[in-house]
Amino acid sequence: MPADRWAGIPAFDDLPTLPDSEERHAWDVWGRSDQLGAVNFIGPDQSRSATSSVRSGLVVPLSAPLTEPHPGLFPARSRYQHVITKTSHGRDDRLDGFFPQFSSQWDGLRHVRYRQHGFWGGRQDADVDEKGALGIEHWARRGIITRGVLIDAVRYFTDRGPGLPPDQRRALGPADLDEILAAEGTTVRAGDVVLVRTGWLEWYLTLDDAARASLRGSVGRAPDPLACPGLDAGRPTAAWLWDHQVAGVASDNPALEALPVDRAVGFLHYRLIPLLGMPVGEFWALADLSLACQQAGRYDFMLFSAPLHVPGGVGSPANAYAVL
C-alpha cells in the first residue's frame, strides 16, 4: 500500500462479502454505527496537506446554477419556484418545491440501499426513517475540505483523436483512469475527492428546449434513450476507488456511471453508497476547472464542499469550489 494511504484499512479484495452475494462491503471498517462512510478518509492531515495544492489562489466554482439542468432528467425532481416578497424596507424570498438533488449535488448515505441487506452499515428502514441514521447533516458538520483531483476524460480523448461523444455510452474503467492520470502527471492520495469530466453537462446546456424535453424521464427507462459516458459500473471500478481511499467521487453527467446501465454489470451507485459509504456527485460543473487546470499545467487543487445542514437529509447541493 502506498505511503500516503491510511494504515489498517483492508484492501477491497479483503473486504467481506454479503451473505449469498459476491458484493463486498466496508461496514466494519469504522464500525456499524458510523455515519460518515468514506468521508472518514479526510482527516486533519488530509485537510492540512491539501493547502499545498493552492499556489495561485484562483477560485473556481464547481456548481451549476440551481436552476440547471432544466427541465431535468428525473420527473420526480423539478426546478424550484423562486418567490420574492417585497416590503417597504427590502426583500425576502423562499424556494418552493426545492429538490436538493436537482442540480450539482451529492447523493448521501440515505439515498440508496443494497437490496435486503440495507443501507450503509447494514441499516434497515427503521434505522433511517425512525432512528434518524445517515442524514446529510453528518457530512455538513464535518465538511468536505480536502485535495481534489480532476480526471479530464473528455480533454484527454479529444486531444488523442477518438473524442468522447457526450451522447454515446463509453464506460471508463480503472485502466482509463490510470492512463489519464499518468498523462496529467497526477496521482490520487488518500482522502482525495476525484472529479471525472465527461463533457456531458456542457453539451446538455447547449441543447434547445425540445431536445432537453426529450431526455426528461429517460434515465432507467426501457429502452433507455439516454446514453452518456461515465465510470464503468463494475466491481473493478469500486475496487479502484476504495483502494485509492477516495473520500468521494463526482462527475458532470447524470449518474456518475456510464448510461444506459448494463444490468449484467450492475449499478455503481449500489456498490459505492450503501456498501462502501462513498459520496457520489452528479451534474458538477467542470468546464471552468478544466480550463484552469490546463492553464496551470496541473490537475490537483484544494476542494471545499459544504453540504446543507438538513437533519435527516438524503442529498445536498454540492456548494463546491476548487482553489488552485
Classify residue 1: in a domain, yes or no.
Answer: no
Q: How many domains does the chain have?
A: 1
% helix, strand, coil for the chain, step of 5: 30, 20, 50
Distance CA 90, CA 243 (A): 53
Q: Which helix (H) or strand (E) holds 249?
A: strand 248-251
Tell me how crowded residue 212 is: count the other CB atoms within 10 A of its CB. Answer: 17
Question: ∠52-54-55 over CA atoms, to 5°?
Answer: 105
In a domain, 4, yes or no: no
* Residue in 189, 198, 216, 183 with CA at minimum distance from that of residue 153: 198
pLDDT tens for each residue of 141-167: 999 999 999 999 999 999 998 899 999
User: How many Cβ atoms sit within 10 Å of the Cβ of residue 261?
Assistant: 18
CATH of the domain at 138: 3.50.30.50
Within 10 angstroms of residue 209's Cβ, the number of other Cβ atoms is 9
pLDDT for the residue numbered 217: 73
In a domain, 254, yes or no: yes
Its domain, for residue 116, covers 12-323
Name the residue type at position 108. Answer: G
**Residue 6 lies inside a defined structural domain of this protein:** no
Contact between 269 and 280 under an 8 Å Cβ cutoff? The reply is yes
Residue 239 grid coordinates: 475496487
Per-residue model confidence (pLDDT) at position 233: 98
Tell me if residue 85 falls in helix, strand or coil: strand
The residues near 186 (Cβ < 8 Å, ≥ 6 apart) are 149, 298, 299, 300
* Cell numbers found for residue 156: 484527454
Joined together, the cell numbers standing for residue 227 give 446514453
243-258 average pLDDT score: 97
Tens of pLDDT, residue by residue over 255-305, are 999 999 998 999 999 999 999 999 999 999 999 999 999 999 999 999 999
- Work out the percent of the chain whose per-residue pLDDT is above 70: 97
Confidence grade of residue 77 (pLDDT, cut at 50, 70, 90): confident
Specify the pLDDT at position 220. 58
DSSP-derived pairing of the beta strands 315-317 and 105-107: antiparallel
Does some domain include residue 57?
yes
Average pLDDT of the residues in 65-88:
90
Confidence of residue 216 (pLDDT cuts 50, 70, 90): confident
Please indicate, yes or no, if residue 7 is contained in any of the structural domains.
Answer: no
The tens digit of pLDDT for each residue in 86-109 reads 999 999 999 999 999 999 999 999
CA–CA separation, 193 and 244 (whole Å) = 10
pLDDT digits (tens, 9 = 90+) for 104-144: 999 999 999 999 999 999 999 999 999 999 999 999 999 99
Average pLDDT score, the chain: 95
Model's pTM, two decimal places?
Answer: 0.95
Question: Is 3 domain-assigned?
Answer: no
In a domain, 72, yes or no: yes
Look at residue 256 in the predicted model and tell me its pLDDT.
97
Backbone dihedral angles phi then psi of residue 168, each to the nearest 5 degrees: -130, 145
